Amino acid sequence: MDNLILVGMPCSGKTTVGQILAEKIKMEFFDSDDYIKSKTQKSIEDIFSEYGEGYFRELERDVILDEISVFHNTIVSTGGGMPTKFDNMERLKKCGTVIYLKNTVENLNERLDRKNRPLFKDPNAIKTLEELLNTRNSIYEKADIIIDCASATPEEICDKILVSINSMNIHF
């Protein structure tokens, strides 16, 4: 298990933190949403509108089976819903150390770019966020490491991750 897999809500900082952390500890970086966009030549929003959420979640599962499962020394940023469908969280845990970037609804709402987030198009996005977080939180909390990101910068979050990894004697 030499991968670090970042999970959490949309806008929790998975991509930003993952890129900084990868550079800091000299690991590869992989963003599952970017991979899906590249593979399909479509935006996530277009995939949702043309094929539906179910199809997108199947694409995410395929990414675990076909890509993440063969990675080594890679930091993976997952889509927010990836760990919550099928048996994806269990599969992710077999691929590496899963780290939940936990944040508050208020912080997530401030960061939300509604234009590019299919699940948050409605004007009541904060209510949607809150409901989604309540639904997903029990799955996210199955992660090996939980990092409180509420008032931390991406660099501080990286430092918290490194402290947690070191305390668990995880070596890369």
Query: Does 61 carry a binding-site annotation?
Result: no
Query: Does 96 carry a binding-site annotation?
Result: no
- Rounded (10°) angle between helices 32-40 and 53-66: 110
Using CA atoms, how far apart are residues 156 and 162, in angstroms rounded to an integer?
A: 10
Query: Does 15 carry a binding-site annotation?
Result: yes
Query: Does 158 carry a binding-site annotation?
Result: no
Query: Does 91 carry a binding-site annotation?
Result: no
Query: Does 16 carry a binding-site annotation?
Result: yes
Whole-angstrom CA distances from 93 to 7, 71, 88, 108 are 11, 13, 9, 25
Query: Does 12 carry a binding-site annotation?
Result: yes
Query: Does 117 carry a binding-site annotation?
Result: yes
Query: Does 136 carry a binding-site annotation?
Result: yes
63: left (phi over 0), alpha (psi -120 to 50) or beta: alpha
Give the DSSP letter of residue 12: S
Query: Does 80 carry a binding-site annotation?
Result: yes
Query: Does 78 carry a binding-site annotation?
Result: no
**Residues flagged as binding site for substrate:** 33, 57, 80, 136
**Residues flagged as binding site:** 11-16, 33, 57, 80, 117, 136
**Residues flagged as binding site for Mg(2+):** 15
**Residues flagged as binding site for ATP:** 11-16, 117
